[in-house]
Structure 1
Amino acid sequence: MGDIMTEKTLHLKKMLEDMKARGETWELLRLFGPSGPRVVVEGKHAVMLASNNYLDLANDPRLKEAAKEAIEKYGWGAGSDWSIAGYTDLQEKLHKKIAEFKETPAGLAFQTGFATNAGTLAKIVGKGDVVVSDELNHGSIIDGIRLSRADKVIYKHLDMGDLEDKLRQVHDKYEHILVVTDGVFSMDGDIAPMDEIVKIADEYGAMTYVDDSHGEGVLGEGRGIGHHFGVQKKIDFQMGTFSKALGSMGGMIAGEEYVIEYIYNTARTWLLSAAYPPAVTAANIKSLEIVMQEKDRVQRLWDNRNYFKKELESMGFDTWKSQTPIVPVMVRDSKKAKELAHKLFDAGVFALPIVFPMVPRGLERIRNQISAGHTKEDLDYALNAYEKAGKELGLI
């Protein structure tokens, strides 16, 4: 039986071997301990530059204490889906906290950010509708649009003229139009101009949806891209995640009360997935409270980012389009990007190469993600490693 099964899947082995030959596979590295500004990875102490932990909350003692208290009161597992018997009073509190955080009438938590996009987009538009989507939107947005069966029109990345052209083309052909964009784009670290997007969409009667996963805790004093541009009450669907700057786990969506009720009554990823443990719910509530209260934490993040980016550029590195704590170092070659990452790791800096298909061929890079928890000593240590490795590889 084993040989027969193997024969059926040999085409996958060949596809994997081809990917490895092109340098397009991931090498999984194990952390031995918590995620933080400095970590132990594969037994080696290193400065962490590969994490989404922008506000250094992933190991915050207050989140851990909130989780412990929830375990004592609610146990570990939720026991069911939220839609059946896994919905606690603690979860209701989280939903109200999401609405407060996003400055909307209502909020809803999902199991993951991917589940939020895939489940929500599949239900707020459908066959006969059209989605106008930025060409560099996240894969979860792409999958959600596919599941919706709506037509899709792509506009050039952050090109507001092209967005308006596309809306003009579809305006009289569809009853429902949805403009979808990432807020902060996770590979380049650039920012969608949400004020302009909302204005243009309104002119053509289109709804707006933003994936704020990399903007929460980073933009708008931590409240995200809507707050950053002062349009938080004008965006129809504000999506986000707890797994990045908020240091925890899960996704979220915020909007009008009837919108949220419609979503949790229709989105299969919400209805048909088990609720996450109450401990996660409690940690999520605490993380939102911290971000709303501690604006100095967000400022430290930006101080660190500005210093690190300036020093990299002074050495001669190309940081591409970065406007946020996502700071790429452009290499433009898959194998050389991996070689740079290995040299950095040998020097005690954990920074991952980003290669095709995550980015187009010719735009390979190391993606650095700065944290509020990094000290100047951490950043200088990493910068010294970059300078040495960059010279050895002829990058600077």
Structure 2
Amino acid sequence: MNGLENELESLQNEGLERTIRTCSNVPGKPGYTLRKDRLLLNLSSNDYLGLAQHPKIIESMRDVLLLEGAGAGASRLITGNRGPYDRLEESLAAWQNCEAALVFANGYMANSGVIRALAGRGDVVFSDRLNHASIVDGIVMSRAEHARYRHNDMEHLRHLLNKYRDRPRKLIVTDAVFSMDGDQAHLREIAALKREYGAMLMVDEAHSGGVYGVHGEGLCHELGLHDEVDVHMGTFSKSFGVYGAYVTGSRTLIRWLVNKARPLIYSTALPPAIVAGIGIALELVQAGHERRQYLLSASKLFRSSLGNAGFQVAEGNSPIVPVIVGDNHTALRFSEMLETDGIAASAIRPPTVPDGTARIRFSLTEAHTEQELIDAIAKICRVGHQLGVLET
């Protein structure tokens, strides 16, 4: 097909071909997964608070499924907006201490839809080079100027803001916690630059919502910066253990998105059962202080242990702990050997990460016990020595 097979062969030779593999949940063991009937410690899950199998969420979804049926049957602006949506959005706005909230089908739709609704030709969007692909694609589709600043380089961001200071609309967009590195954006400095140059600020809390904040509100709340954020976005597919995404902000913002966010307007609404499950998950997230404390403590242990062993580990305190190995084939082999040892840990390669920075992206959940993590660290170190990633 027009050279596709040759290009796929090139991807395979470069260690860049992606494949889809089947996994299954293990009832009663949220920190594990089944793959080819083998029980694996799951160190590649974003279910940070271990809620994906929580019985209260499942019970709520089952009840609404029987009442409302399998699907919404239409977009939210037609007849797809059901009662669970209204209740959830009221709760989200209260949780985030904002005027209003809007639920989207997923994070990709939320980011791409919001950015396209807020920026267009003649405007400029400032974006960290390591932002999620959904942010990048949203900027490209918006047709606004795309001003990418070097990762967490505030002087470069200032330079770009000064360069484009006369543009009619300026939007700064950043992940709060970067999905492949696990480090945090310099939100205090970004907020200060936003004020200085009269820009809007949008923060993606996909990997920080539920993990940070007294009630899991996210990193912006933990740092006391939530009032500086014009567009607060987060997802329900990670700490919440369900599916979907949200945007919170002013009533004016939400009214604008209802009228201009194309992924919302032209997509069938999330099934009511999913929305009901999210509502219960929100209650559990808000009450999950002990879960958050344990998760961050376990992440600190895991990160420091691998760093002390000699691995190249990115700084941070999030449950995302990447081990940089560099070579694509080495990363694939590392992942395969870990699976043989009973650990599911995915190899992440370009273009998801920059060339030469292929890695094993470990991702912890509250469901992992300390002993499970200690045993996993020993196995990871053994494989590291075998592959020459660690010096003997």
Q: Same fold (TM over 0.5)?
A: yes
Q: For 1:262-301, list aligned pairs within 5 A.
A: 262-301=256-295
Secondary structure of 1:189's aligned partner: coil
2:331 aligns with 337
1:68 aligns with 62
2:200 aligns with 207
Secondary structure of 1:286's aligned partner: helix
Q: 2:212 is matched with which residue: 212, 215, 219?
A: 219
Report the CA distance between 1:72 and its aligned residue.
2.4
Report the CA distance between 1:13 and its aligned residue.
1.9
Q: Contact (CA 8 Å) 1:114, 1:140: kept in 2 or not?
A: yes
Report the CA distance between 1:36 and its aligned residue.
2.4
Q: Distance in 2 between matches of 1:361 and 1:203?
A: 35
2:363 aligns with 369
- Residue 197, structure 1, aligned to residue 175, structure 2: no
Q: Contact (CA 8 Å) 1:318, 1:329: kept in 2 or not?
A: yes
Report the CA distance between 1:154 and its aligned residue.
1.4
Counting matched residue pairs gives 387
1:4 aligns with none
Q: 1:233 is matched with which residue: 202, 220, 227?
A: 227
- Residue 350, structure 1, aligned to residue 332, structure 2: no
- Any stretches of 5+ residues in structure 2 without a counterpart? none
Q: Contact (CA 8 Å) 2:300, 2:317: kept in 1 or not?
A: no
Report the CA distance between 1:295 and its aligned residue.
0.7
Runs of 4+ in 1 over 4 A off after TM superposition: none
Secondary structure of 1:389's aligned partner: helix
Q: For 1:243-262, list aligned pairs within 5 A.
A: 243-262=237-256
Q: 1:108 is matched with which residue: 99, 102, 106?
A: 102
Q: Distance in 1 between matches of 2:306 and 2:146?
A: 39
- Residue 17, structure 1, aligned to residue 4, structure 2: no
Q: Distance in 2 between matches of 1:188 and 1:316?
A: 17
1:80 aligns with 74
Deviation per CA, 1:201-234: give whole Å up to 9, x if none.
1111000011111111112232112102111122
Q: Distance in 1 between matches of 2:246 and 2:378?
A: 39
Q: Distance in 2 between matches of 1:23 and 1:161?
A: 36
Report the CA distance between 1:382 and its aligned residue.
1.1
Q: Contact (CA 8 Å) 2:240, 2:285: kept in 1 or not?
A: yes
Report the CA distance between 1:283 and its aligned residue.
0.9
TM-score (norm 1): 0.95
Q: Distance in 1 between matches of 2:154 and 2:279?
A: 36
Between 268-277 and 303-312, report the one with greater CA deviation: 303-312
Secondary structure of 1:190's aligned partner: coil
Q: For 1:95-174, list aligned pairs within 5 A.
A: 95-172=89-166, 174=167
Q: Distance in 1 between matches of 2:283 and 2:186?
A: 27
Write the letter of the residue equivalent to 2:185.
Answer: A
Write the letter of the residue equivalent to 2:46.
Answer: N
- Residue 320, structure 1, aligned to residue 314, structure 2: yes
Report the CA distance between 1:350 and its aligned residue.
0.3
Deviation per CA, 1:335-358: give whole Å up to 9, x if none.
011111111000000000111111
- Percentage of pairs with the same residue: 35
Q: 2:19 is matched with which residue: 20, 27, 35?
A: 27
Q: Distance in 2 between matches of 1:253 and 1:337?
A: 35
Q: Distance in 2 between matches of 1:362 and 1:95?
A: 42
Q: Distance in 2 between matches of 1:22 and 1:238?
A: 38
RMSD: 1.3
Q: Distance in 1 between matches of 2:60 and 2:347?
A: 35
Report the CA distance between 1:325 and its aligned residue.
0.9
Deviation per CA, 1:31-76: give whole Å up to 9, x if none.
1235821121221111100111111111111110110111122222
Q: 1:303 is matched with which residue: 297, 301, 315?
A: 297
Deviation per CA, 1:343-382: give whole Å up to 9, x if none.
1000000000111111112111100001111011221221
Q: Distance in 2 between matches of 1:278 and 1:284?
A: 10
1:175 aligns with 168
Q: 2:177 is matched with which residue: 181, 184, 192?
A: 184
Secondary structure of 2:63's aligned partner: helix
TM-score (norm 2): 0.96
1:52 aligns with 46
